[in-house]
Structure 1
Amino acid sequence: MNSRKLVAISTAEIEEYPIARETRLDGHSFIKWQHIRWLSSKTFKLCSWEVQGMARALFDLSQLESPVGTLPDDDAELAHMLRVDTSRMADLRRSEYGPLRNWRPCLSEGERRLMHPVVLAQVQDALERREIHELSKEDKATYQRLKRLREALKSLGLAGEVLEDERLIGRMDEWLKQTCKGNRRMPHYEAAIQHAVAQGWVGRPASVR
């Protein structure tokens, strides 16, 4: 087994992990597995099947850690995660082609952890895609909310050209968001029209007195 010399690193030389400890990946978050990159890596080409399995297990287990994407820098904890004894874990950590290949020390709120650049990139990608997905859901919610607003205003007598006024609809929606915290009902829409009339945004429709 190839071994490598472990070199002590001072805390001042260790980089801060960029993801906050409270950031979590929920069960629906998808972490990409880049199989082509994996099959081209030295870990796949030169490590034993046992070590490859351990490496993949650590990749998956790091998603459950805090901060997400890191591992404890502790032989006893790592040994427990890989179901080996601590002496075996120490040997694996010294090996150039062990399951912790390319994992390096980092700091998270003063705690020393282990990070892997590829794992970090994959976690950041998953978090970014989650943010985009959340924004997409917000956009859908906004679309449905404005659709209901237009339908209600139409039933209250506002003309089609008024309903097509994006600025007006936006103003009324914003006013409703500030004044109506629950489900919007017809009295809320009537109040929105009255407010718009009072502000001079629109003329009073015949159905609203």
Structure 2
Amino acid sequence: MSVYDTAPARDAVLGDFWAYPLRYGDRLQSFDWMPLYVERLLSSRFVASAIYEGRRQDIGTALLLWSASLKQNPAGTLPDDDIELAQLARFGADVDGWREARDGALYGWRAVHIDDAPPGEGPRLAHPLIAEIAEEQFRRKRGRERGREVAAWATMKSRVRSKLREAKHGRIAGNDYAVEQIASWIRDSDLYVTSENVRVAMETVLGTPKVVAMNGEGI
């Protein structure tokens, strides 16, 4: 039996309750592709039933909905609303036409619980395989975002060190903890790494450096 036909097995299921693996707000708006498991699709009961019943068009409609679902909130789900589904399935205003195709095109989709959904958010549908794909795509997205964040943080600390050295604070520039504190203050204050901002950040998080006169008395 193909995964196109089965209920979600690795997610939390209790009776008719299915907790979706992504939360409300987990989106993939910038993603333009999704994997298609060709052998799973061709060997599925969904395809076999559609062909046997003379409803090959349900396969194309299902593919449109699978693709549209990745742009939904959360990714991989669909609204359980015929007017919205008619639009997503490219039926437009022909809601009656959509309703005739609904059962076949939504083969394998079922009601799902979405964590953090706002009050008043309508019921949503999900498919076990599409959920698996969406979760993997979202994991890749988060990995790329974390990679960019790490690179940006390293660049910011490097700029802070350069500004400290320019201001003759070489000892502080060589102190990893001090540099991170200064960079964190600048980042949290949503400021650019300028000489003045580094000076203010240094004085704020480390205190004003004590200047000692030649006679040993603090000034």
CA RMSD of aligned residues (A): 3.6
Deviation for aligned residue 1:148: 0.8
Residue by residue over 1:78-125, the C-alpha shift from the partner in whole angstroms, topping out at 9 and shown as x without a partner, is 4553536636744661xxxx3222112234567433210111122222
Q: TM-score, with normalisation over the residues of structure 1? A: 0.66
Alignment-derived partner of residue 28 in structure 2: 25
Alignment of 1:100-111 (within 5 A): 100-107=106-113, 111=122
- Whichever residue aligns with residue 60 of structure 1, its letter is S
Instruction: Find the partner of 1:41 among 25, 44, 67.
Output: 44
SS at match of 1:101: coil
SS at match of 2:192: coil
Alignment of 1:25-104 (within 5 A): 25-26=28-29, 28-36=30-38, 37-44=40-47, 47-48=50-51, 49-74=56-81, 78-79=85-86, 81-83=89-91, 86=96, 89-90=99-100, 93=103, 98-104=104-110
Deviation for aligned residue 1:58: 1.2
Work out the CA distance in 1 between the residues paired with 2:186 and 2:71. 41
CA 1:105–1:116 in 2, change beyond 3 Å: closer, same or farther? same
More off after superposition, 144-153 vs 42-51: 42-51
Residue by residue over 1:22-58, the C-alpha shift from the partner in whole angstroms, topping out at 9 and shown as x without a partner, is 44332x2255313344344343455434222111011
Q: TM-score, with normalisation over the residues of structure 2? A: 0.64
SS at match of 1:114: strand
Alignment-derived partner of residue 176 in structure 2: 166
Indicate whether 1:187 and 2:189 are aligned. no
Residue by residue over 1:132-178, the C-alpha shift from the partner in whole angstroms, topping out at 9 and shown as x without a partner, is 2222222121111111111111112233x653331222233234445
Structure 2: runs of 5+ lacking an equivalent: 1-14, 213-218
CA 1:58–1:167 in 2, change beyond 3 Å: closer, same or farther? same
CA 1:164–1:47 in 2, change beyond 3 Å: closer, same or farther? farther
Runs of 4+ in 1 over 6 A off after TM superposition: none
More off after superposition, 45-54 vs 127-136: 45-54
Alignment-derived partner of residue 155 in structure 2: 144
CA 1:105–1:187 in 2, change beyond 3 Å: closer, same or farther? closer
Work out the CA distance in 2 between the residues paired with 1:166 and 1:186. 18
CA 1:63–1:149 in 2, change beyond 3 Å: closer, same or farther? same
- Whichever residue aligns with residue 67 of structure 2, its letter is D
SS at match of 2:111: strand
Percent identity, please: 22
Aligned length: 185
Alignment-derived partner of residue 5 in structure 2: none
Does the Cα contact within 8 Å between 1:153 and 1:163 map onto a contact in 2?
A: yes
Deviation for aligned residue 1:181: 3.8
Alignment-derived partner of residue 15 in structure 1: 18
Does the Cα contact within 8 Å between 1:69 and 1:119 map onto a contact in 2?
A: yes
